[in-house]
């Protein structure tokens, strides 16, 4: 699998590239919007890890042009400034997934749909086209996992009141079985 990493933080990109290369993924790196579009055309990746903020530019502006050139390429938006509003906007623009930094290797490989015997944990497959409700629910679940289930910490991370988060968690979305 070929992965294009569009990230302006050189140190983070280097670490991520090394981690993915261990799983026999071919990784190329780009630091800005214009270079990224050139690499999309020449490298033709299967998946793109796209940083939300690229040295003063928005990574969101790349989603439509990338989908135009490679309509079946998976685009996974990475951000250190996660919010439900940007998650919904990214999904509406055509991103396939939205992950908050820092991200662990297992979650990243699962999101890329990389099947490897070294990955023993199971996960629920997230559909390629998420509704706004699904994107919000997935984002909340990811933030909760990142905060070890601590609702107060997750609420702070999401910039919402703890009770609001609790209400959202009680309203189990219709796409999730209630078993």
User: pLDDT tens-digit profile of 92-149?
Assistant: 888 888 888 878 888 888 888 875 433 433 334 444 456 677 777 777 888 888 888 8
CA–CA dist 92, 130 (Å, integer):
9
Q: Please determine, looking at this structure, whether the domain spanning 2-131 carries the CATH number 3.40.50.2300.
A: yes
Cross-strand bridge partners of residue 74 = 47
User: Are residues 50 and 74 in contact, defined by beta-carbon separation less than 8 angstroms?
Assistant: no
Residues contacting 17, CB < 8 A, separation 6+: 5, 27, 29
pLDDT, residue 123, reads: 38
pLDDT, residue 135, reads: 74
34-87 pLDDT tens trace: 888 999 999 999 999 999 888 778 888 899 999 999 989 999 998 887 778 888
The whole-model pTM stands at 0.64
Q: Where exactly are the structural domains of the chain? A: 2-131
- Among 83, 42, 22, 21, smallest CA distance to 30 is for 42
Cis? peptide before 102, omega within 30° of 0: yes
């Amino acid at each position: 699998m070929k992965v294009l990493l569009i990230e302006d933080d050189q140190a983070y990109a280097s670490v991520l590239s090394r981690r993915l290369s261990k799983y026999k993924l071919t990784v190329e790196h780009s630091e800005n919007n214009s270079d990224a579009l050139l690499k999309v055309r020449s490298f033709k990746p299967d998946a793109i890890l796209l940083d939300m903020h690229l040295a003063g530019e928005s990574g969101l502006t790349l989603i439509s042009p990338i989908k135009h050139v490679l309509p079946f390429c998976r685009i996974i938006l990475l951000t250190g400034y996660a919010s439900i509003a940007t998650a919904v906007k990214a999904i509406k623009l055509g991103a396939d997934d939205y992950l908050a930094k820092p991200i662990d290797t297992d979650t990243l490989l699962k999101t890329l749909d990389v099947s490897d015997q070294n990955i023993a944990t199971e996960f629920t497959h997230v559909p390629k086209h998420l509704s706004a409700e699904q994107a919000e629910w997935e984002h909340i679940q990811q933030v909760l996992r990142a905060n070890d289930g601590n609702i107060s910490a997750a609420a702070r991370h999401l910039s919402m009141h703890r009770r609001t988060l609790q209400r959202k968690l009680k309203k189990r979305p219709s796409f999730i079985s209630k078993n």
